[in-house]
Amino acid sequence: MTPLIKIVILAIVQGIAEFLPISSSGHLEVISEALDEFAKFELDSGLDSLTVSVVLHLGTLLSLLVFYWRTLLDIVLKLRFKLAFLLILASIPAAVAGVLLHDFFEDNLSNLWIIGSMFILTAFLLIASQKFSRRKTENDESTETPQAIESNGSTEAISEELSSISWGQALVIGIFQMFAILPGLSRSGSTIAGGLFSGLKQSAAANFSFLMAIPVIGGAGLLELLKLIKRHQAIPVTELSIGFLVSFVVGLFALYWVINWIKKGKLNWFAYWLFLMAAFSFCLAMF
């Protein structure tokens, strides 16, 4: 398998799994192990796992920026300070955990037993949060409780919907994101589940989760990029550019698809896939 084919495969996996609530880092590790190729990129070609990971994550970051550019522009032009503060507040727990648990994360990044276990935990989170959200909706309708603002898909509506989130809800979502530093525990799955448990509508939970990913992916990508620069390593621009573009395009389509899927109340469907991947991970770990 040539380096280019490896990069394209991993770029597709990254683009899909970054936004689906199934853990991109966990899937990259499991699939890499299955291919028995990811960790064997030749160092003299510049195609080591760190380099590829950074580039593919930057590709999905661009997907987020393109998908939400109107919302981001709306936040800046209309000075939506509360929404900006909520996004920053929700990012703090993960930033603290990233600093404190960086060594643990690095040491266990490829541990298939931990990854498989976190796949299962993510699956249960998705199922439980979906049931909680449905029950809350049914109770609200039966008691005629005033509904929270719900987005109709427009930029203005999304901003208004997210601005209605309380500080407490943002902090709860941030705490759920903090635990997602564990390999195999989906960041998007955890944060969307946290949003649903805190009482948010499904559209609000999804949009807030993905907007939160911008500083997380951007910050992590910047730190890793600085490490690469310090290594003064020759980087094959052509192969990595293709990987970047593939992860960007696939990620953009994945974003459109997963948000519509979540709005339809089918979040728990991803749990079935995670159970299969957990079993596959455990099988790989035994051989």
Domain residue ranges in the chain:
3-286
Give me the pLDDT at residue 211, please.
94
- Token readout for 111 is 């541990």
Q: Which residues contact 62 (CB under 8 A, 6 or more apart)?
A: 244, 248, 251
The answer to whether residues 165 and 154 touch, using CB atoms and an 8 Å cutoff, is no
Give me the pLDDT at residue 65, please.
95
Give me the pLDDT at residue 149, please.
43
* pLDDT < 50 positions in the chain: 37-39, 41-45, 145-150, 152
The CB-side HSE value for 145 (13 A sphere, CA atoms) comes to 12
Give me the pLDDT at residue 148, please.
43
Tell me: the pLDDT tens digits for 92-142? 998 888 777 766 666 666 789 999 999 999 999 999 999 998 888 778 766
Give me the pLDDT at residue 43, please.
38
Tell me: the pLDDT tens digits for 165-182? 999 999 999 999 998 888
Cα separation of 114 and 184, whole Å?
A: 7
Cα separation of 41 and 15, whole Å?
A: 20
The answer to whether residues 109 and 25 touch, using CB atoms and an 8 Å cutoff, is yes
